[in-house]
Structure 1
């Protein structure tokens, strides 16, 4: 009875010391990365005064991330996970160090804004390469560390840690840019990433569960793809989120709305950037205490529809607090979607295929953020800032309607 109570406890996963080390390291690491993302968007827009330039940042990262995702999944499944995560964190620290050099007065005196922007795009390209191999490993490690009976609790905590770090990173990014400038903020980012590295040194080695020496790379990759496409609920949830994020990526235009429409400074920009993550962490706390019990598919579809509605309102708003509020609500609804999808993925994926399945998910979901950023930049150039965001929200609603009609298995899904 006592063992069952421990499994049902909201703190079940965090009682595992190695899981705590992973979560602490991930929190500090994601804080640094989200600060970097906030800073790069603000920095590029001020260098170029062109909303399309923000979209090009996303494109610079998504090209290598998508191109290498399937191969990365094969590599993750056949290699030791602790080494891969530590190597990835160090490579991110190196990229942050290069951005730090580009932000200094030394670089400004010798390079034009155009060449500094080119340098930033180049660094972001290499972060995309690193992310293809590093991003999925965090989720793979969760399943290697935590027993299956408390995996749902661990997934919810994992998402809550990511969102908390994202909120703090976004908000602190804006605050630090305002008070210590871009160079000072990048110095803080470098320190945070290095702290994450030393925390994650405490993880134990995680060798592959099954040797794949006899299996060719392409055969291994196809095995992961076949699994995703045969698992209809998983495929439906991934596809829904892919198109919703692709068309509803209003957050990419926050630097433009903050400066040119809502007329706020770097601090206001930081809070707007953090608003959706604040909403997400609120809902994750609620779901940790009271998990979604039934009708998961319908709730997923309603959540994505609400997300699209919030994006439309954000695009039309000319008031800071209304914009902040609808972005926060959109984050709450997105949090519901992420928890449902993440739980389906972890529960339905065999241990020996987690790297490949997580990489497929990374290719379709995580990279859709950058594709959405690029789409938002292009549409802003073609339609204007406000119409482009409203168009994206409307397309998200259309995707939900099509999914409701064409994917009844997802609508009826429960786990």
Structure 2
């Protein structure tokens, strides 16, 4: 618990918990509402695509903003915008939508806000604790995130059933954003004087260049990208809940929360017993487990087996999350940390939101169960390829890298 001895880190975790929980609550309601309107798995894929596309066009600009402006200020504006998105969904719901286009429009706005929120928030974390406790902070940061992904979906499904619709659920998300904003206002951030770089193509692309020239980082984040892109089954959970497992919104909430349970348990374990040796091989092994447990979930018609499979999916994925997150933050100078995190977030967004779209398309073409099974098999193939293509990742032994001087990182990026 050494990271929590620092008040600003604690406030940051409180802020992040309520933002993530609020958005997870919203996500359950949106998925169920969209499927209630259209009854088409493909439309659930569009839910993810609507949130991902803004990232594609804005991630470089968002990363540059995180390195140029106050990261705390960016987060404050994003929290207010999150609350606005929730309020718009309330208005749409009260008016009784007969198609999903207005909902998709709000999700695009939500994706825009997330584009700026993620790199600013991730780049802020190293400024809240001393360097010697930062690996512990990364593990607890992942734990709090997963705790929110457990409680958020479960609460979202329960609230949907209690309120008899999504409007009340969106109202709870507004309250969560307000609490997060209060915690953020009270947080003090250590000031680091950064050179004001001009807005040029070279400075904007600095994050891409930094990752490309560090193959260990490139291998770690791209492995996570393609594994979750192919193996993720989150978008299809409403179909499983309604048509395969025969449960209601409460069952969907449990299914959405199950990966978070496994991930939270694994994150706590890693916080107390961090990975010390053979981290590359362990990461590859766990990503393979992610694919295998996805296949088991795909063929399951039992709620209990499905929940157990998803718990193991989350636990396996958390190892990759902690390894990647620690590598990216420790190995990146603060001067380019926002831009590097923006690139990392586009990888994560592609694996999550674009993965939801991929799941919807494959389910539309081949059926829900074959889509999940094919995705898990694809993940296993990716693990084999990455073990061959990135020997530095396969042979990585410890979560320690020699950090470059900021001036060197900037000059290297500008030569790209």
TM-score normalised by the chain length of structure 1: 0.94
Distance 1:157 1:120 in 2: 34
Distance 1:195 1:55 in 2: 30
- In structure 1, the residue matched to 2:54 is 64
- In structure 1, the residue matched to 2:277 is 294
Distance 1:188 1:331 in 2: 25
Distance 1:336 1:159 in 2: 10
- In structure 1, the residue matched to 2:411 is none
Instruction: Say whether 1:96 aligns with 2:86.
Output: yes
Instruction: Say whether 1:216 aligns with 2:206.
Output: no
- In structure 2, the residue matched to 1:407 is 390
Runs of 4+ in 1 over 4 A off after TM superposition: 205-208
Contact 1:209–1:352 under 8 Å retained in 2:
no
Q: 1:373 aligns with which of 353, 356, 359?
A: 356
- In structure 2, the residue matched to 1:140 is 123
Give a deviation string over 1:238-258, Cα, whole Å, max 9, x none: 110000011011111100011
SS at match of 1:142: helix
Deviation of 1:157 (Å)? 0.8
- In structure 1, the residue matched to 2:173 is 189
- In structure 1, the residue matched to 2:182 is 198
Distance 2:259 2:89 in 1: 26
Contact 1:80–1:205 under 8 Å retained in 2:
no
- In structure 2, the residue matched to 1:338 is 321
Contact 1:79–1:207 under 8 Å retained in 2:
no
Q: Name whichever of 184-193 and 297-306 sits farther off.
A: 184-193
Deviation of 1:206 (Å)? 5.9
Distance 1:371 1:236 in 2: 19
Give a deviation string over 1:273-295, Cα, whole Å, max 9, x none: 11001000011111111111110
Give a deviation string over 1:152-185, Cα, whole Å, max 9, x none: 0111111111100110001100111011131111
Give a deviation string over 1:297-319, Cα, whole Å, max 9, x none: 00000000000001111111111
Q: 2:29 aligns with which of 39, 45, 53?
A: 39
Q: Name whichever of 54-63 and 199-208 sits farther off.
A: 199-208
Contact 2:30–2:166 under 8 Å retained in 1:
no
Aligned-residue Cα RMSD (Å) equals 1.1
Contact 1:246–1:368 under 8 Å retained in 2:
yes
- In structure 2, the residue matched to 1:123 is 106
Contact 1:78–1:212 under 8 Å retained in 2:
yes
Deviation of 1:208 (Å)? 5.8
Instruction: Say whether 1:29 aligns with 2:19.
Output: yes
Distance 2:192 2:365 in 1: 48
Distance 2:199 2:171 in 1: 43
Deviation of 1:204 (Å)? 2.3
Distance 1:17 1:402 in 2: 43
Instruction: Say whether 1:81 aligns with 2:71.
Output: yes
Distance 1:122 1:313 in 2: 35
- In structure 2, the residue matched to 1:7 is none
State how 1:327-366 maps to structure 2 within 5 Å: 327-366=310-349
- In structure 2, the residue matched to 1:166 is 149
SS at match of 1:103: helix
Contact 1:308–1:397 under 8 Å retained in 2:
yes
Unaligned stretches of 5+ residues in structure 2: 400-416
Distance 2:367 2:195 in 1: 53
SS at match of 2:166: helix
Distance 2:183 2:133 in 1: 24
Distance 1:248 1:354 in 2: 29
Give a deviation string over 1:202-237, Cα, whole Å, max 9, x none: 122566631224x33321122211100011110000
Distance 1:200 1:210 in 2: 22
Q: 1:317 aligns with which of 300, 309, 325?
A: 300
TM-score normalised by the chain length of structure 2: 0.94
Distance 2:363 2:296 in 1: 17
SS at match of 2:50: helix
Contact 2:20–2:148 under 8 Å retained in 1:
yes
State how 1:240-255 maps to structure 2 within 5 Å: 240-255=223-238
Seen in structure 2, the aligned counterparts of structure 1 residues 83 and 389 have a Cα distance that, compared at 3 Å, is same
SS at match of 1:201: helix
Contact 1:156–1:288 under 8 Å retained in 2:
yes
Distance 1:195 1:224 in 2: 32
